[in-house]
Structure 1
């Protein structure tokens, strides 16, 4: 049989041990993380009283040069057909409306034929309706017959508008429609033209190739401006806004630093990378900035007077920023602090320190080693 008194004694003993452990842990957590420096260690330590200074928070991000998507056109055929000739080559500068290639399309020929037939029907029904009005005015035919002929005319005019819209969708303009109506000759050749002025940066078509309306045959880009694109970690997304000052440097162009402002900050976080996309626009009149170049984007905030701390004073303990604060001539306490983004060699103090407090700016590493040694001892 089990001894209930023994079980009770064991449980009380275990509870006492747990209480002692928690008490010791709490006492250790509440104890100041202090260290007393030896005379030799004091010689390696430099202490200053922190104060205010002019800071400009900045953030450096890896970036890349990309095309300005508002200045890019992907040009394709408006109808299924076969390419019979191409005039455009990679790197060529083109004007808006300039012909890039020619397309032969039986679909276009069928649509033109339907347009001409419908035009002819409209003309016939228009004459019939006009004749019916004259006959009705002379009491030769009843009103019902005149209305019937007018109804047929209306239906044919609807068919003509449909055929006209179809030709416009297939790429024919007003001048082409006027020529077709005048000459009444089917032309199955259709030019593929540039929709914007710029440079051909991509071409995916050859003579004899059969293309569909969904195919992008040419990409034309205005390279007078390009984007610098960077991915901002979501933890810092609140810190960046459209219009913030920024600068960009490109390793392959060391003497071409560009200053400007952010023109776009995404409103959504990319779920796969947990980042927010930002864009900076830079002028590129000489085309020295080429898409896909690697770059560094620096985002800056307006400078202000803030409580600051030298970067050399900061040490990382348990993945947090700490500094050693002098509490007496030879005693120093490790204190956690909240700091802003690094600006050169200084950090803005967000919490944990007051103006005038003395902190170690040289020798923190040796002090922390001494603290750890005593803690282990």
Structure 2
């Protein structure tokens, strides 16, 4: 829109010519109430982007073994608890055997204590015998639960443990490495068939949905900003 300064009064009898504003231009004219508002401004400054360490995870093997399967590749987007790789391990097989032995001992301890409670209620056995059998049951339960938690942490499912307890011994148990958070695989340190030791770092996963941006502003520019101000990084 062009605004012209008023011209001096014209002599009497002089005619004027008024140009009509085209309809296309008229449609672009807006009339608004005058209001006070903040005017966005931009600044340019050197800076850097840093990862939020609360959204970075390194994935390591808990047991020694050999990489049997790799489910993801560098750059893949993964979800929390998604399997990343499978490791075959003799240690895992040993834990399965420990689990079966612990389950067997717990069954015996439960059976003994059930019978002991019946005898104690009939005053056939002493309180000391009752407490001894109760202690054996508690100990057997603790050992069983400890080994069970280890197997669950290594990727075996509740269904697989249930099958083991009922005589279905699955061969070739695998330790599954799972993503501890959702994000992108930015580092992969293994290949198929590679041997790994307990504690070896195999993957790094980063969630880049939240990062830190640090800008170095001169004091004059920094004074324009207050805590809580929102902005957009271009």
Pick the TM interval, shorter chain.
Answer: 0.5 to 0.7
Q: Distance in 2 between matches of 1:183 and 1:221?
A: 41
Q: Higher relative contact order at CA 8 Å, sep ≥6: structure 1 or structure 2?
A: 2
Higher strand share: 1
Q: Distance in 2 between matches of 1:171 and 1:141?
A: 44
Aligned counterpart, 1:157 = 141
* 1:227 to 1:148, Cα distance in 2 relative to 1, 3 A: closer
Q: Could you tell me how far 1:109 is from its partner in structure 2?
A: 2.1
Question: Match of 1:133, SS?
Answer: helix
Contact (CA 8 Å) 1:78, 1:171: kept in 2 or not?
no
Contact (CA 8 Å) 1:78, 1:169: kept in 2 or not?
no
Work out which of the residue numbers 154, 165, 173 in structure 2 matches 1:181. 165
Question: Match of 2:61, SS?
Answer: coil
| TM-score normalised to structure 2 length | 0.64
Work out which of the residue numbers 184, 192, 195 in structure 2 matches 1:207. 192
Q: Could you tell me how far 1:205 is from its partner in structure 2?
A: 1.0
Q: Could you tell me how far 1:162 is from its partner in structure 2?
A: 2.4
* 1:89 to 1:55, Cα distance in 2 relative to 1, 3 A: closer
Q: Could you tell me how far 1:120 is from its partner in structure 2?
A: 0.7
Work out which of the residue numbers 80, 91, 96 in structure 1 matches 2:80. 96
Work out which of the residue numbers 74, 78, 87 in structure 1 matches 2:58. 74
Contact (CA 8 Å) 2:47, 2:216: kept in 1 or not?
no
Q: Distance in 1 between matches of 2:176 and 2:153?
A: 14
* 1:169 to 1:92, Cα distance in 2 relative to 1, 3 A: closer
Q: Distance in 2 between matches of 1:222 and 1:128?
A: 52
Question: Match of 1:217, SS?
Answer: strand
Q: Structure 1: 5+ residue runs without aligned partners? A: 1-53, 249-256, 258-377
Question: Match of 2:201, SS?
Answer: coil
Q: Distance in 1 between matches of 2:218 and 2:113?
A: 71
* 1:123 to 1:68, Cα distance in 2 relative to 1, 3 A: same
Structure-to-structure mapping, 1:251-290, within 5 angstroms: 257=234
Contact (CA 8 Å) 1:94, 1:200: kept in 2 or not?
yes
Question: Match of 1:61, SS?
Answer: coil
* 1:155 to 1:71, Cα distance in 2 relative to 1, 3 A: closer
Q: Give 1 or 2 for the bigger CA radius of gyration.
A: 1
Q: Distance in 1 between matches of 2:69 and 2:174?
A: 11
RMSD (Å) for aligned C-alpha atoms: 3.5
Work out which of the residue numbers 49, 62, 67 in structure 1 matches 2:46. 62
* 1:59 to 1:152, Cα distance in 2 relative to 1, 3 A: same
Contact (CA 8 Å) 2:187, 2:203: kept in 1 or not?
yes
Q: Structure 2: 5+ residue runs without aligned partners? A: 1-37
Question: Match of 1:214, SS?
Answer: coil
* 1:174 to 1:233, Cα distance in 2 relative to 1, 3 A: farther
